[in-house]
Amino acid sequence: MTATPTETTPAAPSPLRRLLPGAPPGGGPRGSTLLRHLAVAVLAGTLVVLVTNQLAPYQNLQVARVCAFLCVTAGHTVLVGLNGQLSLGHGALMATGAYTVALTQRGLDERAVGGWWTLPASLLAAVAVTALGGLVVGLAAARLRGPYLAGVTLAVATLVPAVTTIFTGVFNGEQGLRFPAATPPAALGAYFQPERWLAWIALAAALLTMLLLANLVRSRFGRSLRAVRDDEVAARLAGIPVAGTQVLAFVVSAGCAGLGGGVYAVLTATVAPGKFPLDLSLFLLMAIVIGGLGSLAGAVWGALLLVALQDLPGLLTEHLSLSAGLAQRLEGNLALAVFGLILIVVMLAAPGGLQGGLRAVGARLRGAVRRRPAPGGRSPDR
């Protein structure tokens, strides 16, 4: 964390180059980029739906959690990786979305308002409210750099228990709120697995987020984000409103976190301040850096990692049989140690995160193919 975290993606071209209009990466007109992203989204979505049809309830919940976290990590990585603004407070933004959904759902339920549209409406409210919160944080953040921004957002991350306790009447203190669960529509049949329905809800949210963000980062605004990150002075010279871009980045990122937080709440139909501790905010940052900062594919790795972190303790306890005394000492602790070690090793072995590492491996393979056009039928298998 320096005053201006610049070297986030390796070998970024010079900032001014990025400002030139240039050809979009897709090569064709903009409409085709959108179409391509849409096709990939539908493809990915269909694949996941196919998979969820085969999965047991708990595995479907895991899929759902990955999707909920993906909304958050995708928005977070755009802010930190592409715009260079460090946020340690995304856990609190998730909480904002989660509480908005809980309060909206409860309010509608009390007034006996029902219908298929209530959940999308609640989630939309979560996005709106959290984006507003992001605007407030973003306005302050636009003036701050590096560790000073980290300090403020860290303070934001610790705010959730305080706010929920002070306004106990609204948020019900540390016990949190419960709201009506999202049940599958009757059209799917009486025996339709509720967890699969939750996975589909989360999947829809994640695909929507990824689709919007993928188009956003390829757009003019995406180029502004990177320009501001790489060199504020140059960006300003090129006519990019630096502060405005930074605030807007925060708003977009917060909106995604709000959606993710809202979906996260829907999965269990509960919210509580304890679900959004400081650790969550730190783990979110870890997830996007380990996944590969600034890359949406990296955000997927990050989301997978967050869910793996939650499930690791169970896995380790199950597959290790130890003497009682040893198990006592290792239980729980072993999982944390393993996860910590993985973090360190990945960071040392692949400084660009998992996605960066894969890209490097891919590039090497492709290079090998190109250097040997395989006239004699030699395969690039070395």
Partner 1 sequence: MQRFWFLTFDGLAAGAVYAAFALALVLIWRAARVVNFAQGAMAVATAYVGYAVASATGSYWLGLAAAVLSGLALGALVERVLMRFAGAGGPLNQVIVALGLVLVIQAVLGMIFGNGYRPAPAPFDTDALTIGGVAALSPYDIWVLGAALTVVALLAVLFTRTPVGLRMRAAAFAPEVSRLLGVSVGRMLTLGWALAAGVGALAGMLVVPTGLGLHSHAMDLVFVVAFTAAVVGGLDSPVGAVVGGLLVGLILSYVTGYLGPDTTPLAVLVLLLAVLLARPGGLFSAARARHV
Partner 2 sequence: MRPTTRRVLAATAGLALLAALPACADDEKQAAENVPGVSDTEVVIGTHQPLTGPAAPGYSKISAATKAYFEHVNSKGGVHGRKIVYKVMDDGYNPANTENVVRKLVLDDKVFALLGGLGTPTHTNVLEFVKTQRVPDLFVASGSRNWNQPEKYPTTFGWQPDYTVEGKILAGYVKREFPGAKVCHFGQNDDFGRDSLAGVEQVLGPVAAKQTYTTTNQQVGPAIGALRAAGCQVVISATIPGFTALAMGQAAGQGFRAQWVVSNVGADYTTLAAQLGDKKVILEGMVADNYLPMVGDTANPWIQEFTKIHQRYNAGNPVDGNAIYGYSMAYTFVQAMLAAGPEPTREKLVEAVRKGGFRGPGLTPFRYAEGVHAGYAGVRLTRVSNGAQAYFGPTYTTDDGDGAVTEFSEPPTTPPADAVPTA
Chain residues 74-93 in contact with partner 1, contact rule CB under 8 A: 80, 86
Angle at alpha carbon of residue 104, lines to 110 and 184, rounded to 5°: 85
Residue 26 touches which member of partner 1, partner 2, none, C-beta under 5-8 Å by kind: partner 2
Could you tell which of partner 2, partner 1, none binds residue 344, using a CB distance below 5 to 8 A set by kind?
Answer: partner 1
Nearer to partner 1, 218 or 229 (CB): 229
Residue with smaller CB distance to partner 2, 29 or 241: 29
Long-range contacts from 300-307, C-beta under 8 angstroms, 24+ separation: 300/70, 300/73, 301/353, 301/354, 301/355, 302/69, 302/73, 302/77, 303/66, 303/67, 303/69, 303/70, 303/72, 303/73, 304/66, 306/65, 306/66, 306/69, 306/73, 307/62, 307/65, 307/66, 307/69
For the bound state, the minimum distance from the C-beta of residue 311 to partner 2, rounded and expressed in Å, comes to 7
Which of partner 2, partner 1, none is residue 340 near (CB under 5 to 8 Å by kind)?
partner 1
For residues 342-361, which are near partner 1 according to CB under 8 A? Answer: 342-344, 347-348, 351-352
Q: How far is the CB of 47 from partner 2 (least distance, A)?
A: 7
Report the partner that residue 193 touches, choosing among partner 1, partner 2, none (CB closer than 5 to 8 A by kind).
partner 2
For residue 89, the tally of other CB atoms under 10 A from its CB is 30
Least Cβ distance, residue 80 to partner 2 (angstroms): 22
312 binds partner 1 (CB under 8 A): no
151 binds, among partner 2, partner 1, none (CB under 5 to 8 A by kind): partner 1
Q: Does residue 337 interact with partner 1 by CB under 8 A?
A: yes
* List of residues 6+ apart from 380 with CB closer than 8 A: 365, 368, 369, 372, 374
What is the pattern of x (binds partner 1, CB under 8 A) and - over residues 197-236?
-----------------------------------xx---
* CA distances from residue 219 to 26, 33, 125, 146, 324 in whole angstroms, order as listed: 11, 10, 26, 26, 58
Q: Which does 208 bind (CB under 5 to 8 A by kind): partner 1, partner 2, none?
A: none
Cβ at position 94, least distance to partner 2 in Å: 10
Q: Which is nearer to partner 2, 83 or 100 (CB)?
A: 100
Of 23 and 233, CB closest to partner 1:
233
* Range 137-156, binding partner 1 (CB under 8 A): 140, 143-145, 147-148, 150-152, 154-156
Find the shortest distance in angstroms from Cβ 244 to partner 2: 33
Residues engaged in binding partner 2 (CB under 8 A) = 26-28, 32, 35-36, 39-40, 42-43, 46-47, 49-50, 53-54, 56-59, 61, 65, 158, 161, 165, 173-176, 178, 181, 189, 191-193, 195-196, 268-270, 272, 274-277, 279-280, 310-311, 313-314, 317, 324-325, 328-329, 331-333, 335-336
Of 207, 219, 253, whose CA–CA distance to 88 is shortest?
253
Kindly list the residues in this chain that would bind partner 1 in the complex (CB under 8 A).
1-3, 5-8, 10, 80, 86, 140, 143-145, 147-148, 150-152, 154-156, 158-159, 161-163, 165-166, 232-233, 278, 282, 285-286, 289-290, 293, 329-330, 332-337, 339-344, 347-348, 351-352
